Structure 1
Amino acid sequence: MRFFTSVAAACGTLAIASPVARDFSEEISVTDFYVHEALINGTTEATVDGVSFLLSGENATNLECSAQTGIPSEVFTCGDSKYRFALYPGESSSSGFTLRLYHELGLAVGYYGAGEVPTYCRAGGGPTLVCGQTVTPVTITIDSLPDTA
């Protein structure tokens, strides 16, 4: 009995002294980001009607993500993966878009994060604009922490 008690005490001390390090975040790389906009009846104002980009993360490499959507958008799945996204107006400037990213890790468990993707918009032929990513790649960190914003 003394042997068992001594071994249990030693193991408990080791467990307390050397906690297992876990990373509760994921770095997502966004490349080839494009937003398609339709000009409104001869004006210089445009509405978003599509987005596409490539996503690379812990469980994906150059995963194609796209949707025909307005802004702000609903949440869309990238292919048949566990990665999802939503598109919002840029927060810091009029020349970018905010991309919200999600990675489902299990039932009601996952990572979430958002970051701005800077773009430059040019004529896309006809009454359209194409906005392309100006910084490549854009890295967005997603995690399981509560949103502080």
Structure 2
Amino acid sequence: MKFITAIAAFAGAAAALTTEQVKVSDISIRDNDGIQAASFKLNGTIDCSLDKPKSGSCSNKKYNFGINGTDSDYTLSLYHELGLAAGIWGHAKAPVVCRAGGNGPDDFVCSQVDDLTMKLSFNGQ
């Protein structure tokens, strides 16, 4: 009976963690004929960054991300590891505007212009 109670408690905890809302701020993307670097903050305290290729990590090591796109049209995909081979994820359009970066005609620096809150879940929806 104790075993079944423990399993039920674990299942309830897992169900409670099926979604998470994260606030993304201070997005910066450097695109010079392809994404060169990107950075942002999660919930105001977790720093995330990448330098080539398109996969990055965050300061607490439980979040990983990727950015795809070009010409002010970028999608941020975010994964939060909850345990061994278990996690939640989501993706959203990054609200950025790009300007000339100064290192040639294909060099752009993109900065966040609107709030972004992402929903992470087991199915990414």
2:36 is aligned with 1:54: no
- 1:66 corresponds, among 27, 37, 49, to 49
Q: Which residue of 2 aligns with 1:132?
A: 111
The TM-score, its normalising length taken from structure 2, stands at 0.76
Deviations 1:85-107, CA, capped at 9 Å, x for gaps: 011127xxx52211110110100
Cα distance between partner residues in 1 of 2:64 and 2:38:
13
Which consecutive unaligned segments of at least 5 residues does structure 1 have?
1-18, 39-45
Structure-1 separation of matches of 2:16 and 2:51: 37
**Alignment: residue pair count:** 112
Aligned-residue CA RMSD in angstroms? 2.5
Matches within 5 A, 1:1-149: 22-38=16-32, 46-56=33-43, 61-70=44-53, 73=54, 75-89=55-69, 94-127=71-104, 128-135=107-114, 137-145=115-123, 147=124
User: In the aligned structure 2, how far is the partner of 1:64 from the partner of 1:120?
Assistant: 21
> Which gives a bigger RCO, structure 1 or 2 (Cα 8 Å, sep 6+)?
2
The share of aligned pairs that are identical, in percent, is: 32
Mapped to 1, the partners of 2:92 and 2:111 lie a distance apart of 16
- Structure with the bigger percentage of strand: 2
* Offset, 1:28: 1.2
How far apart, in 2, do the equivalents of 1:87 and 1:123 lie? 19
Aligned-pair CA distance for 1:77: 1.8
The runs of 5 or more residues in structure 2 that have no matched partner are 1-11
Larger radius of gyration: 1
